[in-house]
Amino acid sequence: MSVRSDLISQITTNLSATSNITISSELPFISGGNPLYSTNMNTVYVGEQDIEKETLYVTLDSGNVEQTTTTINAYVATDAKEQFSDINNVISSLLLAGDVISNTVEVTKSYETEIADDVITYTFEYNFTTI
């Protein structure tokens, strides 16, 4: 399984008790000029994996020790006028979902919000580093 599918599985588990949010396995593509997460509010969309490799060491046998960083963004948009009461639990659950990805040496997670018109968009960034 890929890191993206593992992340989606954990997000689904973490948010299973939350009735306000659904999780989509679709990519957050743009339809009609708008990303799906802004059209389908209260739905979590997880983007594609962006994989970056960096050589840490060259070994004596001419092999390489590489560090791989996988970056994945997740998005959810909510109505700013009708914000649900457990949004802080949703944010915490989405951030905690990154902690269960195995074989990592470092995991960083962050999120930011953007308000446009009456929509709050939460963008989560997960970085998973392996060697």
21-53 pLDDT, tens digit per residue, is 899 988 888 877 888 888 888 999 999 999 999
Q: How far apart are CA 37 and CA 109, in angstroms?
A: 20
pLDDT of residue 69: 93
Q: 49-85, pLDDT tens digit by residue?
A: 999 998 877 777 777 888 899 999 999 999 988 887 8
What is the reported pTM? 0.87
Q: How far apart are CA 123 and CA 44, in angstroms?
A: 10
